[in-house]
């Protein structure tokens, strides 16, 4: 079940990366392009697609590649913390609370799933171990 979850969520990240590239193209083709957005959007989209490929790859050997989805879980959980801080402090839009519904469960499943698959502790996975000491 975790294997399919990691694979499908990886695929969804790939689609978000492609969508981010679409946003970059939209910026470039705008009548009055906004300076400073094209390069970051292309780069972010590329990173998202790389992360997606790594997640899909890691789903084929969950034990030995657990640090890949474990760290992706930490990335998602950091996004949750950022939204929790940013929205009430007017650093972000209220709609971003929806990210909590997506990133919190996925991040939690990745972190807990990596610990269960490998038998490693949180700290061991933080150090990219794949077998308990």
Give the count of alpha carbons within 13 A of 84, CB side only: 10
Same domain, 51 and 74: no
The pLDDT assigned to 40 comes to: 94
Which domain-ending residue is among 41, 59, 77? 59
Within this chain, do residues 94 and 78 fall inside the same structural domain, yes or no? yes
Q: Taking a C-beta distance cutoff of 8 angstroms, is the pair 103, 80 a contact?
A: yes
| Mean pLDDT score across all residues of the chain | 94
Instruction: Answer yes or no: do 36 and 91 share one domain.
Output: no
- The answer on 31 and 55 residing in a single domain is yes
Q: Which domain holds residue 21?
A: 1-59
- The model carries a pTM of 0.89
Name the more confident of 30 and 116: 116
Same domain, 21 and 34: yes
Q: Which phi and psi (to 5°) does residue 121 adopt?
A: -80, 170
User: Could you tell me if 77 and 108 are in contact, meaning their C-beta atoms sit under 8 angstroms apart?
Assistant: yes
29 and 18 fall within a common domain: yes
Kindly indicate the confidence band of residue 35, based on its pLDDT and cuts at 50, 70 and 90. Answer: confident
pLDDT in tens, 43-89: 999 999 999 999 999 999 999 999 999 999 999 999 999 999 999 99
Region for residue 85 given its phi and psi (left: phi exceeds 0; alpha: psi -120 to 50; beta: otherwise): alpha
- Give residue 92's pLDDT: 87
Going through the chain in order, the beta strands assigned E by DSSP cover none
């Amino acid at each position: 079940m975790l294997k399919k979850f990691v694979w499908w969520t990886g695929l969804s990240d790939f689609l978000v990366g492609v969508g981010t590239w679409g946003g970059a193209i939209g910026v470039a083709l705008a009548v009055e392009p906004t300076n400073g957005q094209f390069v970051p959007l292309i780069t972010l989209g590329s990173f998202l697609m790389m992360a997606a490929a790594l997640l899909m790859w890691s789903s084929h050997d969950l034990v030995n590649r657990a640090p890949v989805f474990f760290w992706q879980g930490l990335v998602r959980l950091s996004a949750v913390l950022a939204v929790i801080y940013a929205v009430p402090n007017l650093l972000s839009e209220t709609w971003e609370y929806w990210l909590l519904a997506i990133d919190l469960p996925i991040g939690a499943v990745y972190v807990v799933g990596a610990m269960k698959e490998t038998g490693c502790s949180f700290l061991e996975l933080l150090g990219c171990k794949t077998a308990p000491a």
